[in-house]
Structures are given as structure tokens and as C-alpha cells.
Chain A
């Protein structure tokens, strides 16, 4: 084998090796970013636990969507994962996002009295979206019910918007006090 041929083979082998490594690295990265839901469920650590997430339905109510999320035993982690999954939107047909796209989860706090403080961040607007009472009820109780009915350490919820506790989101529900969940029947 000539020296030139050996160099060619060695270069080719190196290129294949680098290409394979690059493909492996990129595919892993892309896989890790393939949708919010996938990201939640492949979160680091913890175990897969079943939750009922309460998403708005077109008739003005809420409907439960069973979902498996990877969570640790820490209640704050569970609250965070539940709210992040809500904000990412439903997977079942006919259900709706509780918050506009772009709303993200800021801080989460859980007091010793069982009050969960959840900060929703929306860079697009200082104010929550306007709407009627049913719309506001759907948005707010989608979060409240999904937290309290899934995380037993949380009994009430205070919602903040862009870091501020508001009197109300869109002119109806009093949000200056912790909210208890709606325990009525859901689909």
C-alpha cells in the first residue's frame, strides 16, 4: 500500500469517526429539545408519576388529561412540573391551553401553611389577557386545581403575574387571597 493510499484511508476513517460523533451529539441535543412535553418527561432525576392535568374545554369547563411526568419527591418540584406541563399545552384533542403562548413559569414557593405561590411570567404584556368571567375562571382554576388536586402538600394557591400579586386577572376573581380548588365534577 502506498504511503498516499494509507494517508487517504486514515483521513477517511477519521472523517467517519468525527461525522459519527457529530451525528450522535447533534441527535442527542435535538432529541432533548423536541417539544416541551418531551423535555418535561425526560427531566433529570426522579421517577415517572401519573398526574391529572386540568385543561380548559370549549364548553367553558375543565377536563382532566392524565399525564405521566418525571418528578422528584419534593412538592415544589411537582408543582413546577405540573404547571410547566399545563403551560406547554394539552395533548388530547378538544382541550385548550390555559394561558397564551409565551407565558412561562417563574418562581414557585410553598409555605408551611400549604399555600403555593406560583409566578407566571409573560414578557409580551404586563397585564394578563382580558376576558369574561368564565375565561378567567378557566385560566385560574386550570392552575389551581392541577396543583392542589395533584400535590397534597399544597392546599391553596396564590397566583402572581410577572412577579406581582394582583387584585384580579381580568376583572372578576379575587386573587388577593389564596384560592382553594374547585372540587366539583370534571370530565
Chain B
């Protein structure tokens, strides 16, 4: 029986019997105590090992592309792409930066030990230890770790979220081969299942955990996308209906009794070490966005009886994901991120309002959706990578996926249009339009969410205006009016008159009020939105 050591992190490592010491000066590689013929080159940056014999010994498959520029290594259904002289490799969807680039040598392409750890180590559970004093690389299969997992299922606003929290990051694979079922398979770890728990959720029929896997059974007519959160490691599945008609009736929670705007989260852009844009005179965006947010908060609370939460109320650094999380935790009905703009060159000016773009959807989830659409679970329709068809297919995937999960996008667009309307009609600002972009702060929001750019700090004239408290008061007034209009619309109340139709404060500098200008040409990476439209139809297919 092999001796078993317990590592510092509680990981069990089976140690092989010691191999006889090699002759001094001859580097060697041992697998489970037996020497295997692998060419080794000792570089000043560290040792390099022949990949081909290692792949053969450890169960990987190597292939080269036609141009010879890159090599693909397939390990446990994961593709690893590497190329000679290139320190960046891709492992599945992840990017890994190596200590030194792969290089041609004896035994084909040679790779550093960190490459071996990131591939065969993480994917197959091998431990690689380089001993410089003996010039030996030892490879041994790690014993299975036993990881604890906890399970939470939450249903909110028509969407369910399944959270699997692990004590450590597991080595796993998500299998969606069976329609309506998601299996999280452990590749080299064992799970310590939580006590059985009955799941009462309209979109999730059940979740079963055993030592080898977590099996999630979805209700009919729903689909799920997954993502990972860290510290601690969590695997999250967002489950939502593919068709509103097929959705089982959810237990009605307090937020679903009647549509309404009860809580608004206002996010003053940037803060702390992240200054945001800086104007020619040195004024930082983070200061002005906080002032604007506070002014807007006061207006909303005094007039609308709505709870307002600021994501930050001081000059502090706040990660983008936390801003959205604050909105979700407070069960906000509306999320508004306030920013001031800048461009390369001083010519740009005006306001624009963004909501999330289809590019922000998860490509992996989009691929799953593509496979489901094709009626071949788990496999994507074959398209030639890089071809026009592939690009068009990817665009189509993203659009379809966006339609399927756009619970809030249509509402976000409607709210964004109201904001632009108020800003343009009352303040005579250049209308740069309502646009879509993959903005991080809007991702993951479970409510209509927009980001408004209230002017360009890089433009000296706009910078000067934005420093004027009276001008900022007009900006926050326009935002408050847009919120009041949107609230009335959602709550089926008579809509307050738009600024253009009602008596409003005179425009600054005595300018005449004019209809809003035509939207500007789209900015790079953004898409001008369509006119207010009906809620996009979800895709009618089963998970």
C-alpha cells in the first residue's frame, strides 16, 4: 500500500515509492515512480519537457493545424491551444500565461512545468514536482479530494438561481447531453453531499448530489446558463423560461404582487482609485457622478415615495460586480448608473444612454442554445471556424440567446429612451442616442438597468458646464422626470407630462427649445437601439 500524506490544504497525496537517483547531470522524468523517456532541456528560466511523450503517457492527444502555427492538445474533452514562441496558451475558455513559451526541441514541442500543471494537473489530477537538486520531474496522480458542497435555489421575479458552493474549486465538467438535465461531473474529486433537501421551485424539478456528480432536473420549457463566482468558489445556474406560455405559475412573492417601482439603486460611476474620465482642468468624473447621484436621490425621495439606495456615498473604490449585486440584494426595481464621458480628442459632446447588448451574453450558453436549437443536445452545428457562416451563426446565436433571456432588456430600452428624451428636450443637448454595449456594470442585474453618460468631460465647454451646480441640477431634474414617467408607466398611472410638453425651466443660456436631434452615427462597439418596441419574444424551445 502506498503511503498517504496529508498536504497543508487537507489534500491527500499518494506518494510513489522513491525512484533510484539518476546519474548526476542527467535530467529525468518519473511517472508514479517509474522513469519515462521524456527529453528535458534546462533553460535559465527553468526546465522544458517534450510534450509529445508526456501526452502519450498521460492520456492527451496532440494535433497540429495546417499552417503549423499552433498545436492543439486535447485533455479530458478540453482543448488546449499552444504555439512555439508564444507564452499565452488557451485552456478551454481560459487563457494561461506561461513562465516561458513552448519551444521546438528534442521530442517535438517542449513546454514548461507550469503548462503541465495547468493542463494534465488541473484536468486529470496529476501533481508535477520539479526537484532542481536531482534534476528530476516527478509525476503522480493526486488522490481524490473530498469537497463539501452546499446547495441553494432561489426564485425571484420569474427566474430561478441555483448556487452550488464548494469548499475548493473542483475539477469538473458540465454535461448537457440529456435535454432538461444538467449534470456537473467531478473529474478527479469526490463530493460530500449535503443533507437531502426538497426543491420547491417552479423552474427546477430537483437537484441531486452524490459523490460523483450534481444532477439538476429542469422543469419543462426552461433553460439555464451557468457561470462561476469565486471566493468562495460557486457554480451558478440562472434558470429562466424559454416561453412565457409554458412557464409554470410561480409562487407569488412580495415583489411580484403588482408591478411597480419601489426601490431604485443609483450608481455613481467610478470612485476611489478609479477616477474615471478627467477633464482638461483636472476635474475627475468620480466626484461629479457622486454629486449628481446625491442630488437625484434627494429629488426622488422627496417626490415619489420610492426607496433610493446609492451603491457608494463616498469616494471609495467599488468593483463593478458589487454595484450590480447591491441592486440585486436590495431587490431593486430599477438600476441607474451615472457617468460622465470622455473621448480620444476633444471634439465629442452630448449625452447618450446605454443598456446591455447581446454581446454581453455568455458565449458558452449561446453555444448550448445553438445545440438545443439544432435538436442535437450537447453538440453545435458544424460551421467552419472563422468563415462568414461561422460569424453569422455566432451573431445569430447571440441574438437568439439575447431574445431568450431578455426579461429586462426591453424595459431597459424603454427607460433609456425616456432618459434621452428628457435630457434632449429640456437641456438642448446633442442627442447621441440610446445605444447598447457590453458594459460590465449592467451585467447580472435582475431589473431594468441603464447607464447614462451626461456629457463629455474631455470637451472643455461641457466640462465647464458640468462643474456648474445649476447645470447639474437641471441634469438631475431631467433624470428624476424620466424616472417618474417610467414609474407611472409601469404602475399604470397617468404618465406625468414629458418635459417637452409641459412648462419647464427655460433652457440654459436662453437657447430655444427644439425637437431632439436625429441620433448620431453609432459609436464603435455599440449599437443604436431600435425605437421602443414590444417585449422581444422568447425563443420557444425546451432546455
B438–A134 contact, CB under 8 A? no
The interface residues of chain B lying within 8 Å CB-to-CB of A182 are 522-527
Known: A117-B95, A168-B320. A98 touches B440 (CB 8 A): no
B86–A130 contact, CB under 8 A? no
B346–A58 contact, CB under 8 A? yes
- B10 in the interface, Cβ–Cβ < 8 Å? no
The interface residues of chain B lying within 8 Å CB-to-CB of A177 are 359-360, 362-363, 438
Q: Which of A1-9, A36-44, A45-53, A107-115 contacts B (4 or more CB under 8 A)?
A: A107-115
Per-position 1/0 for B335-359, Cβ under 8 A of A: 0000111111111100000100001
- A30 in the interface, Cβ–Cβ < 8 Å? no
B526–A172 contact, CB under 8 A? no
The interface residues of chain B lying within 8 Å CB-to-CB of A186 are 524
B89–A132 contact, CB under 8 A? no
B86–A107 contact, CB under 8 A? yes
For B364, the closest partner residue in chain A by CB is: A177
B525–A58 contact, CB under 8 A? no
Among the listed A117, A131, A140, A163, which residue makes an inter-chain contact with B277, where contact means beta carbons less than 8 Å apart? Answer: A131
Among the listed A145, A153, A173, A185, which residue makes an inter-chain contact with B440, where contact means beta carbons less than 8 Å apart? Answer: A173
- A124 in the interface, Cβ–Cβ < 8 Å? no
Known: A96-B345, A130-B278. A137 touches B320 (CB 8 A): no
The interface residues of chain A lying within 8 Å CB-to-CB of B319 are 167
Known: A139-B344, A152-B388, A171-B276. A179 touches B86 (CB 8 A): no
A172–B90 contact, CB under 8 A? no
B277–A135 contact, CB under 8 A? yes
- B244 in the interface, Cβ–Cβ < 8 Å? no
How far does the alpha carbon of A47 sit from the alpha carbon of B443 in the complex, in Å?
44
| Count of A interface residues, CB-CB < 8 Å | 70
A173–B437 contact, CB under 8 A? yes
- B79 in the interface, Cβ–Cβ < 8 Å? yes
Known: A133-B339, A160-B95, A174-B439. A112 touches B79 (CB 8 A): yes
A61–B67 contact, CB under 8 A? no
How far does the alpha carbon of A113 sit from the alpha carbon of B342 in the complex, in Å?
34
A132–B457 contact, CB under 8 A? yes
- B133 in the interface, Cβ–Cβ < 8 Å? no
Which residues 135-177 of A sit at the B interface, judged by CB distance below 8 A?
135, 137-142, 144-145, 148, 152-156, 158, 160, 163-165, 167-168, 170-174, 176-177
A133–B453 contact, CB under 8 A? yes
Among the listed B88, B456, B526, which residue makes an inter-chain contact with A117, where contact means beta carbons less than 8 Å apart? Answer: B88
Q: Which of B191-199, B251-259, B390-398 contacts A (4 or more CB under 8 A)?
A: B390-398
- B458 in the interface, Cβ–Cβ < 8 Å? yes
A174–B438 contact, CB under 8 A? yes
Other contacts beyond A132-B458, A152-B391, A180-B398: 16, CB < 8 A = A76-B69, A109-B86, A110-B70, A111-B79, A130-B276, A130-B278, A132-B457, A133-B354, A133-B439, A134-B341, A163-B88, A172-B439, A174-B440, A182-B526, A184-B521, A184-B522
Chain A to chain B: the 5 pairs with minimum beta-carbon distance, closest first: A58-B345, A132-B342, A60-B348, A153-B386, A58-B347
